[in-house]
Structure 1
Amino acid sequence: MKAIFDDRQWRHDPKHFMANGKVMPSPEQPARIEKLTAGAQAAGCTMQGCDDAGMGPIAALHSPEYLVFLQNIYERWQRIPNAGAEVIPNVHPANRTDNYPRSAVGQAGFHQADTACPIGEGTWEAAYWSAQVAITGADLLAAGERAAYALSRPPGHHAYGDMAGGFCFLNNSGIAAERLRAKGLRPAILDVDVHHGNGTQGIFYDRDDVLTVSLHADPTRFYPFFWGHADERGEGRGLGYNLNLPLPRGTDDTAYLKSLDVALDRIVAFGADVVVVALGLDAFEGDPFQGFAVTTPGFARIGAAIAGLELPTLFVQEGGYLCDELGENLTSVLTGFEAA
């Protein structure tokens, strides 16, 4: 399997993270790259760089207003007297239809859902190339590869069409799926991150040409809280094309795999001919977020179950945070898939 990465993704180095009113270092550290690269190589992946497909595939999902914001906000922020080192919102509109301010502070509040997506000097460059990595992976599948792994970092599944959130800026998995759709394929997005892929759901919620399926910790008491409930099924033409499978905190291998079977059945029913896996490894029992209790061998079973679809599959990296087993869990998923 080919694995794609670009060195410019190192440039995003967030410092700020707030949880329960306490400011802490961000869990989405560049050091994740080292562990994930080692995990991909241990799975036998051949590492390669990515192509630059330009802004078109990104702008297919993200508004030009938002993309201009991402490209320019850091420089604008630095012109604010006594501004902090990173762009962090402190005020938000009540609705997406509220007035769009000219102020950098106001626009930060409009385009950043929370304080977990600080924008630093290298954020736009890293996010751009993270998306290009996913696009290259999609192109490999369209050209006939059975599977590929996109080491996309920063991750993407919490990013809406015009809003960052939860460590995410550009929706890499969604961009890859849209790229595949534009090439005449019928993609399904399978999100196995412990957190609901709310941005992905939001982007495709009223569409019937991309299926979105997410297994995640019950958001009643878990991020992202407001999205990811079982009754969110899509709307308009998209009604019935979004499936959420919220699971209790502490869900183990057996219960997880049982729900995964439901997700895979829905993908078959959709008639997908390609799958984009939003690969969060934070369902691991030792992940810092402590949402699920999936084991390292359990990830191999997840990979094997996905391989059972017998469809071209792009794994796009989402969550999975610094712990000793992070690379091993990636190896487990990819080898489980390859061996099936």
Structure 2
Amino acid sequence: MTIVFDPRQLAHVPARELHNGDWTAYNESPARAEAIRAALGPAVAAADFGMAPLQRVHDAEYLAFLQVAHRDWVAAARSGDAIGYTWPVVRRRALDLTRIDARLGRYSYDAATPIAAGTWEGAYWSAQTALTALDQVATGVTRRAFALCRPPGHHAGRDYLGGYCYLNNAAIVAAEARQRGLGPVAILDVDYHHGNGTQDIFYDDAEMLFVSIHADPATDYPFFWGHADEKGVGAGLGTTLNLPLPRGTGWDAYAPVLDEALKAITDYGTRLLVLSFGADIYAGDPISHFTFAREDIADLGKRIAATGLPIVTIMEGGYATDELGYNVKVITDALLNEDSPTTVRHS
């Protein structure tokens, strides 16, 4: 198992977010990554694979916006972090928008995901961390790699940010893996919250399987996506599988649903698995409501490892910071199963 981390991800330090109608300290802090890094030990530094893999997934104008948003916010004589407050919920269309307030609304969907001075640097190196983990697997250094990414990515869509996410690391890795001829590629998202951005990016894609086990969006963020009847559209119909579960779900109820997800992945003929892992399934997470003990997280990892697939694991959520490193270490230890240097065969 290769662990990949880049300290430049720590440059992303928003001060606060709007949560449940009030300002609160930003949950997705650098302390999360530092806790995980301390628990996991030595890590490989991220290589720079440039913008091309990002452009394969994200809209060019959106990428340009992320790079200048905070600068333009400051230029407009604003203080603090850039954050949207007006969103085009109907007749969303391409417009020549110059005011930073308008562009923030155009390229975001919530008020919990500010853009700070170091956000682009952090997000860029988060994506490069994920790509480096893929490269370790693709070149045969290891069959299982863990990308310690922050900010996370699975809520970010092709041209929007939200849910603490700016660049969709899992989607970037999946698209790059396919570009390298490593498919069929499947994405399994086991974060507490639905990976709406990942789903959206591949929703009409016949050649990318997205499977998500998450809290029922009828009660939990992101509310509008992740319902069981969302199965893809057009050529992609049938390549999205959502398995929402009620608050209070523990391992006993979760395990058979995981088996259903893994069966779909093996039936698809998957040759490389991208795992979006969120430690917010843990019972002590402050913003989530599953009831996993640490040993349950280990069992989750063992079940996934038993597929025998090469796996690139991408860190997503998890906000019980004092416990976070331990909770991540148990799944990386579980995924060590069958870890031997083998080159992934190209199709």
Give, in angstroms, the shift of residue 322 of structure 1.
Answer: 3.3
Matching residue's letter, 2:11: R
Give, in angstroms, the shift of residue 255 of structure 1.
Answer: 1.0
Give the paired residue count.
Answer: 335
Q: Do the aligned partners of 1:278 and 1:316 also contact (CA within 8 Å) in 2? A: yes
Q: 2:220 aligns with which of 213, 217, 222?
A: 222
Q: 1:164 aligns with which of 161, 173, 185?
A: 161
Question: Which secondary structure state, in structure 2, belongs to the residue aligned with residue 36 of structure 1?
Answer: helix
Q: 1:13 corresponds to which residue?
A: 13
Distance 1:300 1:105, change over 3 A: same
Give CA-to-partner distance per residue, 1:106-152, whole Å, 9 cap, x none: 00001011111100100000000000000111111111221000001
Give CA-to-partner distance per residue, 1:64-95, whole Å, 9 cap, x none: 100010001111111113x1311100101124
- In 2, Cα distance between equivalents of 1:288 and 1:2: 29
Q: 1:191 aligns with which of 189, 192, 199?
A: 189
Q: Do the aligned partners of 1:286 and 1:323 also contact (CA within 8 Å) in 2? A: no
- In 2, Cα distance between equivalents of 1:172 and 1:180: 12
Question: Which secondary structure state, in structure 2, belongs to the residue aligned with residue 285 of structure 1?
Answer: coil
Q: Do the aligned partners of 2:35 and 2:321 also contact (CA within 8 Å) in 1? A: no
Question: Which secondary structure state, in structure 2, belongs to the residue aligned with residue 153 of structure 1?
Answer: coil
Q: Is 1:34 the equivalent of 2:34?
A: yes
Q: 2:49 aligns with which of 48, 53, 67?
A: 53
TM-score (norm 1): 0.96
Q: Do the aligned partners of 2:58 and 2:158 also contact (CA within 8 Å) in 1? A: yes
Q: Is 1:72 the equivalent of 2:63?
A: no
Matching residue's letter, 2:110: D
Question: Which secondary structure state, in structure 2, belongs to the residue aligned with residue 114 of structure 1?
Answer: coil
Q: 1:91 corresponds to which residue?
A: 86
Q: 1:311 corresponds to which residue?
A: 309
Q: Is 1:295 the equivalent of 2:293?
A: yes
Identity of aligned residues (%): 45
Give CA-to-partner distance per residue, 1:153-204, whole Å, 9 cap, x none: 0000000000000000000011011111101112111000000000000000
Q: Do the aligned partners of 1:39 and 1:329 also contact (CA within 8 Å) in 2? A: no
Give, in angstroms, the shift of residue 290 of structure 1.
Answer: 2.8
Q: Do the aligned partners of 2:217 and 2:227 also contact (CA within 8 Å) in 1? A: yes
Give, in angstroms, the shift of residue 294 of structure 1.
Answer: 0.9
Q: Is 1:150 the equivalent of 2:153?
A: no
Aligned Cα root-mean-square deviation (Å): 1.1
Give, in angstroms, the shift of residue 20 of structure 1.
Answer: 1.7
Question: Which secondary structure state, in structure 1, belongs to the residue aligned with residue 279 of structure 2?
Answer: coil
TM-score (norm 2): 0.94
Matching residue's letter, 1:60: R
- In 1, Cα distance between equivalents of 2:202 and 2:330: 30
Question: Which secondary structure state, in structure 2, belongs to the residue aligned with residue 282 of structure 1?
Answer: helix
Distance 1:331 1:306, change over 3 A: same
Q: 1:117 corresponds to which residue?
A: 113
Matching residue's letter, 1:138: L
Unpaired segments ≥5 residues, structure 1? none
Q: 1:180 corresponds to which residue?
A: 177
Q: Do the aligned partners of 1:288 and 1:323 also contact (CA within 8 Å) in 2? A: no
Distance 1:240 1:330, change over 3 A: same
Q: 2:343 corresponds to which residue?
A: none
